[in-house]
Structures are given as C-alpha cells and as structure tokens.
Chain A
C-alpha cells in the first residue's frame, strides 16, 4: 500500500459485473453492477448478510464461474479460468483425510506441475513456521481445528500466489481459536505482502483485519458503501487484529457498518 504499485494495473479490477442464476422455476439476479478495484498489497474485506452473493463474487474472481455481464481482470488480463497466481481459502479446511499434512500442502504444486523438490521444501518450511513441523506426516484427523486451518493456509500459500481469496476462513472455528488464528494469519499475510480479499459476515473480523471494508446489500448484491479503515489512536503502525478490537475507532466502525447491513430486517 505504501509502496506505489509496480505496474499500473490494479491486482483485481471488476467492471460492471452482473450474475444471473437460472433454475427451472426462477431466474435470480445474484449480483448487480459490481465494480471494484483492489491495489497491490491491499487487504480488502467484503461484508454482507448471508445470501448477498459475496462468496459468489470470490468464485467469479477465481475464474471458476463466469459473469453474465461485465468483466474481471487480474493484473490487467481478463479472467477466463483459475489461475495459479490466485490462492483460495475455504470456510472448512477441506484437508484430504487420506493424505498426510505434507501431501495435502503439496496438492497445489502437484496439480500445477510445479518443481517437486522446491515445492516440498517450501511446504515443509511453511508448516514448520506455522508450528506444524512435528505433524508433516500426520493425517489431518490427528490435528486440532486451529492446526488444520493453519495447514490449509500453508496449502494455499505453497504455490506462492499473489492474490488470496479468503472465504470466511475462520467461521468454522470456535471463538477463541478464531481470534488467535486471525491475529496469526493477519501477521503472516502482511509479512508475505499478499493482496487479500476476505469475505465474511463477521463485522469485527472485517474491520480488525482489513484496510478497506466493502459493505454489500442484500440480494441482488450491490456494493452499498465502502470504508477505509485506519486506527490513528494506535499510532502509525497498523495494530494487530486483537489490538484493533480495543481501539475506539473499532466500535464506531462497527456501529456504522452494523447499521448499513440492515440486519434488523432479517427474520
């Protein structure tokens, strides 16, 4: 963020995207007129109530589905299929229970045809850094929930993507683990200088982690408003998510976004 972008194009550019879903009995407009740019190194969070199409937006950016109208560009190139430069993290850890932790982390390299030795070294390195060094050859069921999600993070980071799409990656964890892990992951991602788009329905998670929060309306999903998140009271450095939750700005952002989400209309 502080450093000017190396190339002029934003990492992600979404231009006038619409998405329709068809089913035999109806046609649903899931996303309407979405335009959004994400700069290199930026951490953007998208919040919205469930069913607003925020996860769909991630599928569109990843190239798994195509918009009905409009275009999506990754570093200036139109998205047509999944790209190895994009990493995706799921709500569940989706570890493959028949593979060791190490082999789970290596599945990306395996499918992308990356150099095996280098990938293995990087995978072991990542797992050691995340405190899983003793569990390289364990099976996923031998790990706790937080450890499994860290293994999933290592799997996402192993092919060294530039852009990370996080689809509510903490929501399956219990509250304490979630707070601890979001601190850890925020630190990891900031030191790795990745560009990140986090989708969540947890307002606190969004404003404690992201530089920018985008609020989506209910279906058809539109961008309602966006906020640049800063914590002047915490000093010049960005506070960790846990510290950010204690800043006075946190409460006021929370209140504002809470009101914008119209959650009280939900039955």
Chain B
C-alpha cells in the first residue's frame, strides 16, 4: 500500500490533549482505500459462503453425489425449522451450550486453583511437572468410556469437558504466573507484602491477559469434550443428535446439529474476543 508512506506523520496519542487535525486529501484517500479493501474482503467472504451453499444444493440434485450422504441446505433448513417449531432444537442446543459453559468455567476455576498451588510451592511444581506434561499430551478422549463407567451419563460429560481443558489451562497459567516481572514482586515485598498479597496484588492481576487467552483456547476444547462425551453417554444434546441421526441415516439431522454447533462455538469465541479487547484496551496493549 503506497499510500501508507504519505501519511506516516501520525500524531502521538500520549499525554497531549486530543486535538483533531484537519485531514489532508492524501489521508482521505488512504482512509477510502482502507474502507474499499474491507468491503472487498467481506464481499468475498459472503460470496464464498453462497457459492458453497449453491454447490451443496446443486451437486446432489444433479446426481453428482449421493444425497443420502450429504443432504442439501434446503432440506437441512426444513429440518432446522421443524425442530425449532417443536422446541426440540432449543432443548438440545441448551443442553450442549450449558454443558460447555459449565465445562470451561469449571476447567478454568480448577486450572487457576492448580496453577496457584504450583506457583505457591515451587517444590510441588518440580515434583508434579512431568506428570502434568504427560497427562496434557495424552488424548483425553480416550477416557470417555472410563468416565462413563465411573460417573454415569450426566457427570461424565462435565468431567470430559473439564478434563480436556484442565491441563493445558494449568500449563498456560503457570507459565504466565512465572513470567510476571520480578521487579513488580520485589516492589510489593519491599512494602512488606505477604505471599498471598504478592498473589492477589501482582500475580493474578498481571495474568489477566494470560487467563483470557487461555479461555479462548478452552472454549473450543470444552466443546470438543462435551460433544465427545455426548456421543458416548447422552440422551440429549447436539452430540447425541449427531450420533442418533447417523444411526438412523438422517443426514438432515446430523447437518443441523453441526450447523448449530458451529454457531455455538462462534458465539462463545466472539464473546471472549470482546472480553479480550476490553481487557487489552484497559492495559493499553
């Protein structure tokens, strides 16, 4: 973008009162080109989505692929509307959504507690470190049948959602805690701070950005845990719909559930992105 060089004279935002300078024509042109580019990107995104939908609708109807395997958007939309009207879709969505939220909030709370414990006692951290690394590397999905046997159909889903995100949370948060500026810790210790005060005044507030990026990772992971848990155990939820639909060869049902899952994960992700933007703006990053 050649126009960038013309407008390199950006006012420094620090300390000065915000005076709006008059925009030069070159700057106006630069802003217009930015806007045009943004529109072009959005147009392509919508276009790609529409093209995909058309292809998905046309290909089975034209006999290029077997509609039994793929269903079509119009059929999915009909299933979606019917299930919305009889309320069953909302029930299943709510089940999965609430399990996911409970799962990642639970994973987060437990993860913070464990990371604090490890930070508190470097000895405990040294002892447990290899175990945490190994458990984190292990595919937690393998535990689904065990959790089902131990905990039954409801609790095993929550347990799965927590298990999937817990260890990566501990590792990310502990790393964040250890990276806190030692001079800030020295600062409060010079004012006589206890270890608990070092934690509450420095380590935890300094780690808020780390917590949010952990949360971002966890939303996706918790959803994976819940859906896999539902495959095995559930009598409701979108994961259950997917298994049920595929067993009776109802692709409309499977696809509907998948679309709603995509919507749930987007909603959660956007919510956390909003939180992140808010926090980063506050800390000036």
Q: A-side interface residues toward B, CB under 8 Å?
A: 62, 64, 81-82, 84, 86, 88, 90-92, 94, 96-98, 107-108, 110-112, 135, 139-144, 147, 159
Cβ-defined contact, B190 with A88, below 8 A: yes
Give the chain A neighbours of B183 by CB distance below 8 A: 90-92, 94
Cβ-defined contact, A82 with B191, below 8 A: yes
A142 contact from B15, B187, B192, B285, Cβ within 8 A:
B15
> What 0/1 pattern do residues 200 to 226 of B give for CB contact below 8 A with A?
011001101000000000000000000
Cβ-defined contact, B192 with A62, below 8 A: no
Q: B-side interface residues toward A, CB under 8 Å?
A: 14-15, 181, 183-184, 186-193, 197, 201-202, 205-206, 208, 282-285
Query: Distance (Å) between the CB of B280 and the closest chain A CB?
Result: 11
Query: Distance (Å) between the CB of B263 and the closest chain A CB?
Result: 34
Give the chain A neighbours of B206 by CB distance below 8 A: 96, 98
A98 to B186, CA, bound (A): 17
With known contacts A92-B183, A96-B184, A141-B284, A64–B208 Cβ distance under 8 A: no
Cβ-defined contact, A98 with B205, below 8 A: yes
A94 to B188, CA, bound (A): 10
Cβ-defined contact, B191 with A96, below 8 A: no
Cβ-defined contact, B187 with A144, below 8 A: no
The residue on A at minimum CB distance from B184 is A94
Give the chain A neighbours of B184 by CB distance below 8 A: 94, 96
A107 to B202, CA, bound (A): 11
A107 to B206, CA, bound (A): 15
With known contacts A144-B14, A144-B15, A147-B15, A82–B283 Cβ distance under 8 A: no
The residue on B at minimum CB distance from A108 is B191
With known contacts A92-B183, A107-B201, A144-B14, A64–B284 Cβ distance under 8 A: no
Give the chain B neighbours of A90 by CB distance below 8 A: 183, 186-187
A111 contact from B186, B193, B283, Cβ within 8 A:
B193
Cβ-defined contact, B283 with A141, below 8 A: yes
Give the chain A neighbours of B202 by CB distance below 8 A: 96
The residue on A at minimum CB distance from B198 is A111
B205 contact from A81, A96, A108, A112, Cβ within 8 A:
A96
A97 to B283, CA, bound (A): 6
The CB with the most chain B CB atoms within 10 A, among A135, A140, A141, is that of A141
Cβ-defined contact, B283 with A84, below 8 A: no
The CB with the most chain B CB atoms within 10 A, among A110, A140, A147, is that of A110
